[in-house]
Structure 1
Amino acid sequence: MSSENATLHHRLPGDVTAVDLERLCWMLVAVALLADVVTTFVGLQVGLAESNPAARGAIEGYGVAGMLALKAFAVGIGLVGRLLLEPEYRPIVPVGLAVPWLAAAILNLYTISTVV
């Protein structure tokens, strides 16, 4: 028995394709990005400070536009990086963007709730 030319195909449950999953994950990125930006600026309005030095510099220098430019840069890097992956592994890129931004938004909400 030989394993030459053998391939392993991963199938997702149901009728979900890797393309569908990636599309859903990019929508999650948009929600996470928006949640992080909104909660960051609400936190700043109630007297909190940005703890990320790169984001702090972007906000202090350019306000919301600076924060959005920083996020757009991260998304751009992700879009370029995903081209290096096989299609079935591409959903990991938006997940890698969305998870920390969602975590930041949740932490922001918690911190805002302690001062309001």
Structure 2
Amino acid sequence: MRGSLLTSTDRSWAFEGRSVGGADGRAVERALWAVVLASVALDVATTWLGLSMGLVEANPAMRWAIEGVGFGALVAAKALAVGGAMCLRAARPRHGTAIALGLALPWTVTVLVNAVVLASV
């Protein structure tokens, strides 16, 4: 049984007549991890800029951590999330693309939201 794109066991899926998986799948995963790293860096940078402009962190848990520990709490939380995802990826290499996508999508959206908020101030 081949499964879906995210659960296939043979890693050589057919997509619009092309073979996706194997080397191509690794390239996609690497690109997604690059997006993760860029988006987390931009998230930290835009959050720092917003806080320095007098805006307030929207996430109550992070707001509490930043107020109590300092801005390093945000950096530590992001590092912990990326590190945890990398550990999960090492334990489940077949799901590396889905793991990277699971971080890349929400952090990219967060960066876009931060940019819109900063532009409106």
1:19-68 deviation digits (Å, cap 9, x = unpaired)? 22211111111100011111111111111100112221232233332111
- 2:106 aligns with 100
Assess, with a 3 A threshold, how the Cα gap between structure 1 residues 19 and 41 changes in structure 2: closer, same or farther: same
Distance, in Å, in 2 between the alignment partners of 1:48 and 1:36 is: 14
Return structure 1 stretches of 4+ with deviation > 6 angstroms. none
In the alignment, which residue of structure 1 is the partner of 2:20?
A: 12
Taking only the aligned residue pairs, the percentage that are identical comes to 34
- Per the TM alignment, residue 71 of structure 1 is displaced from its structure 2 partner at its CA by 0.5
Q: How many residues align?
A: 108
Aligned letter for 2:20? L
Using the size of structure 2 for normalisation, the TM-score is: 0.76
Question: Max radius of gyration: which structure?
Answer: 1
Higher relative contact order at CA 8 Å, sep ≥6: structure 1 or structure 2?
Answer: 1
Structure 2 residue ranges without an equivalent (≥5): 2-8, 14-18
Structure 1: state its 5+ residue gaps.
none
Instruction: Provide the C-alpha distance between the structure 1 equivalents of 2:69 and 2:25, rounded to a whole number of angstroms.
Output: 37
Note the aligned Cα RMSD (angstroms): 2.2
State TM-score, norm by structure 1. Answer: 0.79
Give the structure with the larger strand fraction: 2
When residues 74 and 48 of structure 1 are mapped into structure 2, their CA distance, relative to the original with a 3 A threshold, is same
Aligned equivalents of 1:72 and 1:112: distance in 2?
A: 24
- Shift in Å, 1:111: 0.9
The C-alpha deviation readout for 1:46-100, integer Å capped at 9, x for no partner, is: 111001122212322333321111001111221222244352x311111111111
Change (3 A) 1:86 1:41: closer
SS in 1 for 2:70: helix
Separation in 2, partners of 1:17, 1:57: 42
